[in-house]
Amino acid sequence: MAGSRADVSELVADVDRRLQLTYATLIVARCRFRRCPSAAQGRAYQIVEAQLDELLDLRLALTCPRGSPVGSSR
Protein backbone atom coordinates (compact mmCIF):
# COMPACT_ATOMS: atom_id res chain seq x y z
CA MET A 1 0.00 0.00 0.00
CA ALA A 2 2.83 2.41 0.80
CA GLY A 3 4.33 1.82 -2.63
CA SER A 4 1.14 2.87 -4.39
CA ARG A 5 0.94 6.03 -2.28
CA ALA A 6 4.49 6.89 -3.32
CA ASP A 7 3.55 6.25 -6.95
CA VAL A 8 0.53 8.53 -6.64
CA SER A 9 2.68 11.20 -4.99
CA GLU A 10 5.11 11.02 -7.91
CA LEU A 11 2.22 11.29 -10.37
CA VAL A 12 0.80 14.30 -8.54
CA ALA A 13 4.24 15.95 -8.52
CA ASP A 14 4.54 15.33 -12.28
CA VAL A 15 1.06 16.72 -12.92
CA ASP A 16 1.94 19.78 -10.80
CA ARG A 17 5.04 20.42 -12.91
CA ARG A 18 2.99 20.06 -16.08
CA LEU A 19 0.37 22.42 -14.66
CA GLN A 20 3.02 25.06 -14.03
CA LEU A 21 4.38 24.79 -17.56
CA THR A 22 0.94 24.75 -19.15
CA TYR A 23 -0.19 27.76 -17.12
CA ALA A 24 2.91 29.68 -18.22
CA THR A 25 2.11 28.72 -21.82
CA LEU A 26 -1.47 29.90 -21.31
CA ILE A 27 -0.22 33.31 -20.15
CA VAL A 28 1.95 33.60 -23.27
CA ALA A 29 -0.93 32.56 -25.53
CA ARG A 30 -3.24 35.06 -23.83
CA CYS A 31 -0.71 37.88 -24.31
CA ARG A 32 -0.22 36.99 -27.96
CA PHE A 33 -3.97 36.99 -28.54
CA ARG A 34 -4.38 40.37 -26.84
CA ARG A 35 -1.51 41.83 -28.86
CA CYS A 36 -2.70 40.44 -32.18
CA PRO A 37 -6.22 38.99 -32.03
CA SER A 38 -6.65 36.48 -34.81
CA ALA A 39 -8.38 33.16 -35.31
CA ALA A 40 -5.05 31.33 -35.12
CA GLN A 41 -4.07 33.01 -31.85
CA GLY A 42 -7.53 32.38 -30.42
CA ARG A 43 -7.36 28.72 -31.37
CA ALA A 44 -3.89 28.39 -29.83
CA TYR A 45 -5.26 29.86 -26.60
CA GLN A 46 -8.22 27.44 -26.63
CA ILE A 47 -5.92 24.45 -27.12
CA VAL A 48 -3.71 25.40 -24.18
CA GLU A 49 -6.76 26.14 -22.04
CA ALA A 50 -8.17 22.67 -22.82
CA GLN A 51 -4.83 21.08 -21.89
CA LEU A 52 -4.86 22.96 -18.59
CA ASP A 53 -8.42 21.78 -17.90
CA GLU A 54 -7.42 18.17 -18.58
CA LEU A 55 -4.45 18.41 -16.22
CA LEU A 56 -6.62 19.94 -13.50
CA ASP A 57 -9.15 17.12 -13.92
CA LEU A 58 -6.33 14.59 -13.69
CA ARG A 59 -4.96 16.17 -10.53
CA LEU A 60 -8.41 16.20 -8.99
CA ALA A 61 -8.86 12.52 -9.83
CA LEU A 62 -5.50 11.67 -8.26
CA THR A 63 -6.03 13.63 -5.06
CA CYS A 64 -9.74 13.33 -4.25
CA PRO A 65 -10.97 10.16 -2.58
CA ARG A 66 -13.57 8.12 -4.42
CA GLY A 67 -17.10 9.08 -3.55
CA SER A 68 -16.06 12.61 -2.68
CA PRO A 69 -18.72 15.19 -3.61
CA VAL A 70 -16.01 17.47 -5.07
CA GLY A 71 -15.62 15.63 -8.37
CA SER A 72 -19.17 14.33 -8.72
CA SER A 73 -20.57 17.28 -10.69
CA ARG A 74 -19.36 15.83 -14.03
Residue pLDDT, tens place only, 43-62: 999 999 999 999 999 999 99
Greater confidence (5 vs 38) lies with: 38
pTM of the model: 0.78
Query: What's the rounded Cα separation, in Å, for the pair 7 and 38?
Result: 42
Residue pLDDT, tens place only, 20-48: 999 999 999 999 999 999 999 999 999 99
